[in-house]
Homo-oligomer: A and B are copies of this chain.
Amino acid sequence: MFASLFLTSLIAVAKVAANCAHGTSAFPRLPNVTVSTFGYDALKGPLNWYGLNKTANVACEKGTTQSPIVIDASISTVPGSTLKWTVPDYPDGAEFENLGTNVEVIVNGSLVDSDSGVSYSLAQFHFHTPAEHRLEDEFYPMEMHWVFESEGTLGDLLRLNEPGADMSRTAKQFAVVAFLVELCESPGCTDPVLDAVFSAVEDIAVPGEAVMTGPLAFGELVDKLEHSQVYRYGGSLTTPPCTENVDWLISAELLYIDVPTWLAVKKVIKYNARYTQDTLGAVNLLQNVADELCNSTSN
């Protein structure tokens, strides 16, 4: 009995010590952020995003160029060298937020499409586990999205935690640079940007938490895009309000992450991939459900 109580006390002390260690993280804590109201399961999930807000989220149900999709031979590529992507280094770190549905990093930057001449401002980058796009039907354990907007000042740029009803977004043109992330097995095999960002992920384990990351440098990642072929298609945001006319730019070169890092990230992000959509230009899969069911007899 006493031995048991003593053991319980020891465990309690160990837990407090662990919490104190947590509080002394190398990553400075920031004020809490607002968490998303949509989700990925049941009536909060992607089959009911339209139901959550029938005005704002109408594209989720009626759009015919929705994302994500399966990338196959029908999707053309452009050389990454035609995309002038600029993102400064952050030697003092950048803001890293847990929005409940995702974790995102707030950084400045720009993208100029030298073919079309369109210029974009960078809003943030974030992650999906597992990946949302597939390559020739195969899926990947993670996907990184860099979200750019063609209009607005930094204060107006898309944050994942904006209210879904902000219709001003739909007037903007978005571009998303994406990387699929595959698992690797050798020590130190994680991409340096993923390594730097996710070293802080356990400090934002609870939705609403935000910290400053450690130092971030993006040169290697930008070089990778510029030296790869890039799958390009016109799709949509993969979260409400599912706005279309998004210029998707998906690197054909994978990034890599090791098992311990991926497990730590998955434990925080959990599951946040929208189901793949119908072929580009074909009926929205939810509209197809309605077409199938509205006139059918009850069973």
Contacts and interface: CB of A to CB of B under 8 A. Distances in A.
A18 interface: no
A138 B265 CA distance: 11
A61 to B, nearest CB: 7
A129 B134 CA distance: 13
A126 interface: no
Contacts of A58: 299
Interface of A: 40-43, 45-48, 50-51, 54, 58, 61-62, 70, 129-130, 134, 137-139, 141, 182-185, 258-260, 262-263, 266-267, 270-271, 275-279, 282, 285-290, 292-294, 296, 299
Contacts of A299: 58, 62
Nearest to A46: B275
Contacts of A260: 185
Contact of A259 (B45, B185, B292): B185
A249 B287 CA distance: 35
Given A50-B293, A139-B270, A289-B290, 10 more contacts: A40-B137, A42-B285, A43-B278, A47-B275, A47-B289, A130-B130, A138-B266, A139-B271, A183-B262, A275-B275
